[in-house]
Amino acid sequence: MKVIHLVANKTWGGGEQYVYDIVEHLKLNGESPVVVCRAIPILVDNYLALGVPVYKLKLGGYFDFKSVLALLQIVKNIDDDCIIHAHDFKRAFIAVVACKMYHGKKKIRVIMTRHLIRQAKKSFLENMVYKNISAIVFVSELARKVFMSSSPMIEQNICKVIYSGVKDRACDKNYLRNVLNIADNEFVMMYHGRIEAEKGVEVIIEALSALGESISYRMVFIGDDTTEYVKKLKRRIENTGLKNKIIWTGYQKNIGQWIGGCNLGLVPTIAKEAFGLSVVEYMMAGKTVITTDNGAQKEYIQNGVTGVLIYPSDSQLLAKNIEDIYNTKDYVRIGNNAREYYEKNLSYDVFFNKMLKMYRTAF
């Protein structure tokens, strides 16, 4: 069985890490996965580093027939049954058409992971995918419910909820502090992921402004800091007291090296999270995370027990919770609870075993 992943995003985020981890684990289990992605250096380089074949295609919209033909050729060149695993409906459509055009003896199946919280569309193109796909994996119950709320013409039994597991990475307690020259006794907060408005980055900055000098801290942002949006944020804090408290590291590949050195994770997303991989990464590391309650986080974060939930866009509430956690040192207790919950429910083994079973039963 070959698993071919189609990755169409132009940046590295949770969805791309999701594919990376599956591909890595498939290799560890003796499989030979393949990645098809756009010719974006950060994507190509990261997947090539896994030692797997990486094909560069445009992977455009529904009518990208050049990518359909190229994918068909990739399938023909593989000497085994194939699972084509897409991560959005446009790429699933490309996979379905390629399968329709294949007339060989190999079995070809298409599955898809739904990483978003959106209602199902019901056009002819989407209905064609629904009719010809073997499974749709939803990363949370919220994602499934919202999708099905528009009553699409799809068999209920192919819609499966599999929570996205996070690999148990080695978390170095000293790396972040050594690299950034931060003392062991300093309180460090951290955000990692795409630095965009919908991720609540400005809410963090507003909360830090509201904190003033009430606590002593350093704030570390890990993610691409070369965009115009980040440049605007840097200009915004240039002449404020925050300049010397905020550190921008740029994109970092091995997040486990960094996350172990923080005391508190901040993920105050404004857009609804279909799952929230970065939230679970803090739980994996035994760190308290403050996140918002408008997405799937409520399915695995119990407020005050395994994490802290706040309303989206509420910088004052975020500031209050940061100050409370700092003063009570409750981040130790909550972080320990988070790690325990992760081990039982969100570990990568739990996730991967479910995915592998779905791959093998697709035929």
Residue 147 CB: number of other CB atoms within 10 A? 21
Give CA–CA dist 219/259, Å, rounded: 12
Place of tokens 């569309």: 121
Assigned CATH topology for domain 2-165+347-361: Rossmann fold (3.40.50)
Whole-number pLDDT of residue 241 = 87
Q: What is the pLDDT of residues 183-224, one digit of tens each?
A: 999 999 999 999 999 999 999 999 999 999 999 999 999 999
Give CA–CA dist 6/238, Å, rounded: 41
Domain(s) labelled CATH 3.40.50.2000 in the chain stretch across 2-165+347-361, 175-346
CATH 3.30.70.1710 is right for the domain spanning 175-346:
no
3-state secondary structure of 30: coil
Give CA–CA dist 217/141, Å, rounded: 36
Whole-number pLDDT of residue 19 = 96
| pTM of the complete model beyond 0.75 | yes
Q: 309: which strand partners?
A: 291
Q: What is the pLDDT of residues 221-258, one digit of tens each?
A: 999 999 999 999 999 998 888 999 999 999 998 898 99
Residue ranges in 250-314 assigned as alpha helix (H): 255-259, 277-284
Burial level of 60, CB count in 10 A (0-12/13-18/19+)? middle
Give CA–CA dist 242/343, Å, rounded: 36
